[in-house]
Amino acid sequence: MNKPKHIAIIMDGNGRWAQKRNLKRVKGHEMGAEVVRSITEFCAASEEINRLTLYAFSTENWKRPRLEVEFLMKLLDKYLKKELPTYLKNNIKFEPIGDLRAFSPNLQKTIEHVKEATKHCDGLVQSLALNYGAKNEIVRAFNALKDKKNITEEMLSNALDCKEDVDILIRTGGDKRLSNFLLWQAAYAELFFIDTLWPDFSIKELEKIISKFKKIERRFGGLK
- Exactly one of 2, 22, 61, 122 is catalytic; name it: 61
The widest CA-to-CA distance across the chain, in whole angstroms, is 56
The residue at minimum Cβ distance from ligand FPP is: 15
Quick check: is 12 catalytic? yes
Least Å distance, CB 32 to ligand FPP, is 3
Quick check: is 150 catalytic? no
The answer to whether residue 26 forms part of the interface with ligand FPP (CB under 6 A) is no
Size of the site for ligand FPP (CB under 6 A): 18
Stretch that binds ligand FPP, among 1-9, 72-80, 132-140, 158-166 (CB under 6 A): 72-80
The answer to whether residue 166 forms part of the interface with ligand FPP (CB under 6 A) is no
Residues in 92-151 at the binding interface with ligand FPP, rule: CB under 6 A: 128
Residues engaged in binding ligand FPP (CB under 6 A): 11-16, 29, 32-33, 36, 56, 61, 75-76, 79, 128, 173, 198
